[in-house]
Structure 1
Amino acid sequence: MKKWVYAFGGGTAEGRAAMRDLLGGKGANLAEMAGLGLPVPPGFTITTEVCAHFYAHDRRYPPDLEEQVTAAMRRVEELLDLRFGDPERPLLVSVRSGAPVSMPGMMDTVLNLGLNDSTVEGLARMGGDRRFAFDSYRRFIQMYGDVVLGIDHYLFEDQLEDLKQSRGCRFDTDLDAEALERLVEAYKRIVREATGAPFPEDPNAQLWGAIGAVFGSWMVPRAVTYRRLHDIPGDMGTAVNVQAMVFGNMGEDCATGVAFTRNPSTGEKAYYGEYLINAQGEDVVAGIRTPQPLTRAMAEANGNAGSSMEERMPETFAELVRVFELLERHYRDMQDIEFTVQRGRLFVLQTRTGKRTAQAALKIAVDMAREGLIDRREAIARVDPASLDQLLHPSLDPTAERRVIARGLPASPGAVSGEVVFTADEAERRAQAGREVVLVRIETSPDDIHGMHAARGILTARGGMTSHAAVVARGMGKPCVCGAADLSVDYAERCFTAGGTRVAEGEVITIDGGTGQVMLGRVPTVDPQLSGDFAT
């Protein structure tokens, strides 16, 4: 019988890092980390060969796949002493994509799968926290409704915003258990009205719906566009990773975050990342809330002294640093790591080679050669010649007059001016007409990929330096300012206000992704100076 499913967790794994073509990058690295003894929640990977079969056979699966998935799920249950679909001790899982080549945010994810009206009560009893259980349930319904059932996610978000306003709450974390129970019922009504059927209660039906959606997301337009822009072959397919949930949204001793072992903007040998207390991973990468800095140095640089994970969760941060050091030595490259803290306990959910700017790629290659992690030949091979023109982009003239109307986080370096646009389609349309544009969004989503490619720079009102906008912008070499909290974006009126100034679509602004400044009008630039690393 052909092997379609590879298990990991409990200190062992059936796969390894070298099997990325079969297991995808995420699955191969989860297996590798589990084999290294790192705290990886157990799970299993459905191979890229199943994806190939799925598309070659009219979206049908190999006949023996279900049996292998059932056996792998049973192993996870035994490791955790939980049962998938059990109303007393329910096992919940995440279902995530994982192509052999990193495609951040382009394919689909579902978290908290396995919840229904019975298992949510079991989760509440197990966790001793009804609010946490219903927070997880409303998140699941929204993600499943969007990813699997094809319901517009704004319908759910509008319902959440209406509830927060009616309760006088600024953040979703301010909503109590009773409010979240009402939100779950409202979300279920949205599903019934949109699909004509109730939200699926059977965990197995939920699981196979999510697996099919992840395989299906390999061919959605944003993923196809991303592959075209980055010269990624379309026939490699994606794996599907099913993994036991750990929860960063159980209270103040819980958190979720994204971290890089070196600065992906500058290449500096300094930990770089963000985290959110009482949250789940999608909150960080989607830019729904602007997160807090990982390190004390980042917090002080951003004027947020005392907010860092290093200061607020010192023991967990120290453990995370040990993970950083182990993984960077093991992979011999800068790593991009996703983690969750559940009641003070650290779990590592992903590692991958981190996307970086050309400036950072150059510095990291030179530094790692000096440190003896790689040799000189490998250092040269790691710097893509096609990306070096990013080092030649102009910077703002330091003597030029500038009118700063907002400040955000310096998410991807470089300075550009352009006409303000508010949609990806408009960015693409104007760019094709030869005009320079800056894409302004409340937060970007993977569906904005074509507009991000067309724009000269990106500005968001929400999100941090590890959000979707920041990661994709750095990979493209685009200047980006994220989390400009003073920005109030009105899509309907096609304008934004900042610092008492109203800026309409078509007006020119300048952004500096190295300082986080947003300026009215066009600011003159000067030719850059190449760093010493370029001459090395």
Structure 2
Amino acid sequence: MTKGSDVPLAHKSNALGDAAPLTAAIYPFDHPHRARPRALTDLLGGKGAGLAEMISTLGINVPPGFTISVPLCQRYRREGWPEGLDEAITLHTSRLGDRMGRRFGDHNDPLLVAVRSGAPVSMPGMLDTVLNLGLNEYTVEGLAKVSGDEKFAWDSYRRFLHMYATTVMGVHCDELYVGHSGDTTESLREHVVLLRERIRQVAGRDVPAEPTVQLREAVEAVFRSWDSQRARTYRAKEGIDESMGTAVNVQAMVFGNRGLNSGTGVVFTRDPSTGEAVLYGDYLPMAQGEDVVAGTAHTLPIADLEQLHPAIYTELQETLRRLEVHYRDVCDVEFTIENGRLWLLQTRAGKRSAVAAVRIAVDLVNDPDIRLTPTEAVSRVPAAVRQRARDEALAHVGADDAAHDLVTTGLGASPGRAVGRVVLTSDEAADADDDVILVRPETKPEDVAGMAASVGLLTTKGGLVSHAAVVARGWNIPAVVGAQDLTCSANGIHAPSGLLIRVGDVITIDGTTGQVWRGAVTTPTDEIVIRAIEHELPQLPALEEWARQYAHEGEEQ
């Protein structure tokens, strides 16, 4: 149990009674908890706990904000919007504005915030997010003035309107298309006018102009997203408790779309596909975080950041190493660069393939700064995962078996080889009784039912930390992403050679090499099996020996 002002975790399901002061159920990221924040995921959610840990324990550069605790979401699900929560959020927002030297809704220098979910367990892309909240037709002019960049301000307003309409108001993104926004201030202004009118037509109301109303509705949208169909489907697949609920994190905005020295990215401290001790992820200049994970943009490998911003890359490397040593595990980190300054927006344990889990566990035992115990290593990689690692290793070899039928090579995002019939929609995948490979330009959270029913995923857009890549790795589904020379139509997949792979045709994908073949690739021989284990999983024998010792010691006890 925590002490002091923290809610007792043992009674989290009914931690906040009607008389509980709601202001005390909301925690600034730097709140002086009696327990270490990383241990408070049932109270703060995974994201909130990570933000608090980075600020209070490690002193890492994190934009300030506050966490609306998990028990408040649980109370909302039981009773509806709690009385007094509006006033409590307003108070904490005012305090955040004091820290930032800005005021929420100020026409001259507005405080803008991001509203993000943060469940106690990782549910990538399943819950809702709203960025740039606080903009309206007046505050956008203030943002343009204080930043000295009208184009940036109107681009941020465009992004806000689109995200608010889809996330909070329930408008489908396809209904919001009003043409390309262009890349000039004037074209962005015109686009915003058209977008606002389109939202009014489709939703029957405007996006609220009052920032406090925007914030209330956004927080409630995040609460509601816990019970969305996509979230329920994901929890059923992962065996996550339906009653858990989510926290909401309200955080001062930092802008990756603010000039040439800005950008955003997602990075793993080690390769989550192979376990290799190299940074792995995507970076996108002049963009915001949702651009990277949505899989709609052509991202850059994280290594390109070293050439673009050498000093920031070095700082990022050093910060990531601190996190990995602190958590004694692979970390998945979201970051933003605003005008040459690095900010971290999230850290959590990185989802990894079975092969990577084996390699990482053994390497962390041998890491002099981490020194994971053999017992800890075995507990992180149980027998079922070790068997999956063997199966994945087999899929890594023999990649030239069908070179004459090679269609394209994309990015190997989740290891393993999959053979299946091509389907182009999540509904087709979910309804299939045989092995299918879901082929999409990019996947969205709404596609999770089809993704869960597929033996493999192939996308023509997106990078190594796109939605398709992250979910596939977490579920050990082979995936190839960013196969940019392929296009999808109602008939099937078109390759540059003129080849058409029709819906229902069989293809093979390799989530390690990124290769895609027409037809089924033959199974490796026994000799290849032996070579695969020796080459791909040299750490496995040590882990198996520790497992035997662990089991023997357990028997003796």
Shift of 1:407: 1.6
Could you give the per-residue CA deviations for residues 47-83 of structure 1, whole angstroms, max 9, x where no partner exists?
11001110110x222x232232222112211111111
- Partner SS for 2:180: helix
- Matched with 2:309 is 313
- Matched with 2:180 is 163
Q: Which runs of 5+ in 1 are unaligned?
A: 165-173, 296-307
- Matched with 2:17 is none
**TM-score, scaled to structure 2:** 0.88
Work out which of the residue numbers 124, 146, 149 in structure 2 matches 1:129.
Answer: 149
Letter paired with 2:287? A
Give the Cα separation in 2 of the matches to 1:208 and 1:131: 28
Q: State yes or no: 1:377 paired with 2:375.
A: yes
- Matched with 2:85 is 65
- Matched with 2:540 is 534
Give the Cα separation in 1 of the matches to 2:154 and 2:142: 11
**Alignment check: 8 A CA contact 2:175 2:202 kept:** no
Q: Which runs of 5+ in 2 are unaligned?
A: 1-19, 543-557
**Alignment check: 8 A CA contact 1:254 1:343 kept:** yes
Work out which of the residue numbers 40, 57, 67 in structure 2 matches 1:45.
Answer: 67
Give the Cα separation in 2 of the matches to 1:454 and 1:401: 26
Give the Cα separation in 1 of the matches to 2:202 and 2:492: 28
Work out which of the residue numbers 348, 358, 364 in structure 2 matches 1:362.
Answer: 358
- Matched with 2:54 is 33
Give the Cα separation in 2 of the matches to 1:67 and 1:197: 25
**Alignment check: 8 A CA contact 2:486 2:493 kept:** no
- Matched with 2:264 is 256
- Matched with 1:409 is 411
- Matched with 1:459 is 458
Give the Cα separation in 2 of the matches to 1:397 and 1:277: 37
Give the Cα separation in 1 of the matches to 2:474 and 2:496: 28
Aligned pairs for 1:112-511 within 5 A:
112-156=132-176, 158-159=177-178, 162-163=179-180, 175-295=183-303, 308-372=304-368, 373=370, 374-393=372-391, 394-395=394-395, 397-398=398-399, 400-402=401-403, 403-430=405-432, 433=433, 435-490=434-489, 492-511=490-509
Could you give the per-residue CA deviations for residues 286-319 of structure 1, whole angstroms, max 9, x where no partner exists?
0110210111xxxxxxxxxxxx001111011111
- Matched with 1:302 is none
Give the Cα separation in 2 of the matches to 1:379 and 1:473: 23
* Count of residue correspondences: 505
Give the Cα separation in 1 of the matches to 2:423 and 2:495: 14
**Alignment check: 8 A CA contact 1:13 1:31 kept:** no
Shift of 1:429: 1.2
Give the Cα separation in 2 of the matches to 1:71 and 1:379: 45
Q: State yes or no: 1:17 paired with 2:38.
A: yes
**TM-score, scaled to structure 1:** 0.91
- Whichever of the two has the greater Rg, that structure is 2
Q: Percent same amino acid at aligned positions?
A: 47
Could you give the per-residue CA deviations for residues 11-37 of structure 1, whole angstroms, max 9, x where no partner exists?
977971111100000001101111121
Stretch moving more, 526-535 or 38-47: 526-535
Could you give the per-residue CA deviations for residues 406-442 of structure 1, whole angstroms, max 9, x where no partner exists?
2211111111121110111101211xx2x11111000
- Partner SS for 1:219: coil
Give the Cα separation in 2 of the matches to 1:499 and 1:214: 45
- Matched with 1:85 is 105
Stretch moving more, 373-382 or 385-394: 385-394
**Alignment check: 8 A CA contact 1:24 1:98 kept:** yes
Shift of 1:449: 0.9
Stretch moving more, 390-399 or 85-94: 390-399
Coordinate RMSD, CA, aligned: 1.6
Give the Cα separation in 1 of the matches to 2:234 and 2:468: 14
Give the Cα separation in 1 of the matches to 2:263 and 2:452: 32
Relative distance call for 1:392 and 1:242 in structure 2 (3 A) is: same
**Alignment check: 8 A CA contact 1:489 1:497 kept:** no
Letter paired with 2:324? E
Give the Cα separation in 2 of the matches to 1:398 and 1:72: 56
Give the Cα separation in 2 of the matches to 1:208 and 1:248: 25
Letter paired with 2:134? G
**Alignment check: 8 A CA contact 1:424 1:452 kept:** yes
Letter paired with 1:371? D
**Alignment check: 8 A CA contact 1:7 1:13 kept:** no
Letter paired with 2:539? D
Give the Cα separation in 2 of the matches to 1:12 and 1:462: 43
Letter paired with 1:100? P
Give the Cα separation in 2 of the matches to 1:392 and 1:493: 36
- Matched with 1:301 is none
- Partner SS for 2:539: helix
**Alignment check: 8 A CA contact 1:33 1:40 kept:** yes
- Partner SS for 1:215: helix
**Alignment check: 8 A CA contact 1:4 1:65 kept:** no
Could you give the per-residue CA deviations for residues 188-231 of structure 1, whole angstroms, max 9, x where no partner exists?
11211112222210111100000000000001011111111111
Runs of 4+ in 1 over 6 A off after TM superposition: 11-15
